[in-house]
């Protein structure tokens, strides 16, 4: 026994020294974690609201390089920037890096939504969502979405001389209101799930008639539901929020771009006019019409390049990672920011312009976003002319980009011209 103790006390310290030396040879990135808990969070939020976030990033890169440490929203964080950073985030094995949102977002959307899942859980839920959001399914809904847009314009645009494109919320207590609203909506979704499950059991519902029914109808080889009720609730929440937030931002800034650039507006109007002239009064647009809107979609993609709705994203490090000659420790979060691409580049290198993500993390709602954006722009340019009321083209991020005063515009219906 005494021999074993001697061996332990002699060799264990040597083992610790060797492992510590191996770990310390991988340096932490430069930078400071700042004041405990607060860190650099307030500085980043101030920069986002003042529309100086890109300068904030540039200053950080000039000072520390494309890899640096800081503290954001109470957690030690490694900031990474550039093409290699995007490739790391979107191609890394799910055992190394996992999606993770801030606690506030997780409290609103739920911990079983796609943004929180990794590995086989992520694949299972993503495949289920794609079974409804794939083009083959969505093309059946083009007319229905077109009808919703026309109804909205009839109720809120026609007969008006001014509209505010992106209403601005009042500050303070929004998070508390969001939590209460989230609870109410989740209860409504649970009621819908019970209703639609009953219709499926009675064979009075089609598996692809809506997203909830589609998710309920997916079964394994034993006839069991593949997606749990909690996962359905949380991912319906995600689809509603993501489907509204990002697309509404894109359409808002498209409206501003078309008002400020007569040449682009004329080209979009010409393309949409060619489609409209082949339609009878009241006829809905089709998938085939969307395929013809190539120039309009290029304008939308350029708008996303100039003003991306999502400024950056968080990931959680599940094990020690060596990147750029530095150590990203297990348990730290990493924050990746989008790259501003020069529009004059002949071609865009891989993992530089990724408005909808990349790899197995590419946005499953990409086609849905394209459909609703193109349908909205078609109805707007063929039914209205408009001009912005303020020449100020600035915007703030809160956290999505919001134009000055919500972008009030003067509108004239083409029925009256």
pLDDT digits (tens, 9 = 90+) for 376-396: 999 999 999 999 998 888 888
Count CA atoms closer than 13 A to 152's CA, side-chain side. 13
- Count of CB atoms situated within 10 Å of the CB of 205: 19
Give the distance from CA 343 to its chain's centroid: 22
Strand runs (DSSP E) across 103-232, as ranges?
162-164
Beta bridge partners of 163: 409
pLDDT digit string, tens, across residues 264-291: 999 999 999 999 999 998 899 999 999 9
- The average pLDDT across 123-129 equals 95
Give CA–CA dist 112/94, Å, rounded.
Answer: 16
- Count of CB atoms situated within 10 Å of the CB of 43: 15
Q: What residues contact 75, with CB distance under 8 A and at least 6 apart?
A: 332, 333
State the DSSP H helix or E strand holding residue 75, giving kind and residue range, or none if neither: strand 75-81
Count CA atoms closer than 13 A to 277's CA, side-chain side. 6
| Predicted pLDDT of residue 170 | 54
Average pLDDT, the chain: 88
Tokens of 373: 């954006």
pLDDT digit string, tens, across residues 160-176: 999 999 876 655 557 78
Give CA–CA dist 205/133, Å, rounded.
Answer: 18
> Tokens 């002319």 identify what position?
385
C-alpha closest to that of 395 among 404, 387, 386: 404
Percent of the chain with pLDDT over 90: 64
pLDDT digit string, tens, across residues 152-163: 999 999 999 999
pLDDT at position 144 over 70: yes
Tokens of 221: 């080889």
Percent of the chain with pLDDT over 70: 90
Tokens of 84: 């290699």
| Predicted pLDDT of residue 10 | 39
pLDDT digit string, tens, across residues 235-274: 999 999 988 889 999 999 999 999 999 999 999 999 999 9
pTM: 0.87
Give CA–CA dist 215/265, Å, rounded.
Answer: 40
- The average pLDDT across 201-211 equals 92
- Count of CB atoms situated within 10 Å of the CB of 31: 19
DSSP label of 66: S
């Amino acid at each position: 026994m005494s021999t074993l103790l001697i061996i332990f006390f002699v060799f264990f310290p040597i083992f610790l020294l060797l492992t510590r030396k191996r770990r310390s040879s991988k340096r932490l990135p430069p930078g400071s974690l700042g004041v405990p808990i607060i860190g650099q969070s307030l500085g980043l939020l101030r920069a986002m609201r003042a529309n100086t976030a890109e300068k904030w990033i540039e200053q950080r890169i000039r000072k520390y390089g494309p890899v640096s440490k800081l503290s954001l929203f109470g957690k030690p964080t490694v900031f990474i920037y550039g093409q290699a950073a995007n490739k790391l985030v979107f191609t890394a094995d799910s055992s190394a890096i996992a999606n993770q949102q801030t606690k506030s977002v997780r409290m609103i959307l739920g911990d079983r939504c796609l943004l929180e899942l990794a590995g086989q859980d992520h694949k299972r839920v993503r495949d289920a969502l794609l079974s409804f959001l794939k083009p083959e399914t969505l093309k059946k809904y083009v007319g229905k979405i077109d009808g919703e847009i026309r109804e909205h314009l009839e109720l809120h645009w026609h007969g008006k001389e001014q509209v505010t494109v992106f209403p601005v919320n009042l500050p303070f207590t929004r998070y508390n209101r969001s939590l209460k609203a989230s609870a109410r909506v989740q209860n409504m979704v649970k009621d819908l799930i019970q209703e639609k499950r009953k219709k499926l059991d009675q064979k009075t519902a089609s598996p692809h008639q809506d997203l909830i029914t589609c998710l309920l109808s997916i079964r394994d080889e034993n006839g069991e539901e593949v997606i749990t009720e909690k996962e359905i609730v949380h991912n319906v929440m995600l689809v509603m929020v993501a489907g509204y937030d990002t697309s509404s931002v894109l359409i808002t800034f498209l409206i501003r771009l078309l008002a400020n650039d007569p040449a682009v507006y004329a080209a979009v109007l010409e393309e949409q006019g060619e489609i409209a002239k082949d339609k009878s009064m009241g006829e809905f647009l089709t998938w085939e019409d969307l395929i013809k809107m190539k120039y309009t979609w290029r304008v939308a993609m350029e708008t996303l390049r100039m003003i991306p709705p999502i400024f950056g994203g968080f990931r959680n490090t599940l094990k020690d990672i060596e990147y750029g000659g530095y150590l990203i420790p297990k348990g730290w979060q990493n924050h990746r920011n989008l790259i501003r691409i020069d529009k004059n580049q002949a071609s865009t290198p891989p993992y530089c312009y990724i408005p909808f993500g990349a790899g197995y993390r590419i946005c499953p709602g990409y086609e849905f976003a394209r459909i609703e954006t193109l349908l909205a722009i078609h109805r707007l340019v063929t039914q209205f002319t408009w001009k912005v009321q303020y020449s100020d083209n600035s915007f703030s991020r809160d956290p999505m980009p919001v134009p000055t005063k919500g972008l009030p515009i003067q509108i004239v219906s083409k029925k009256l011209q």
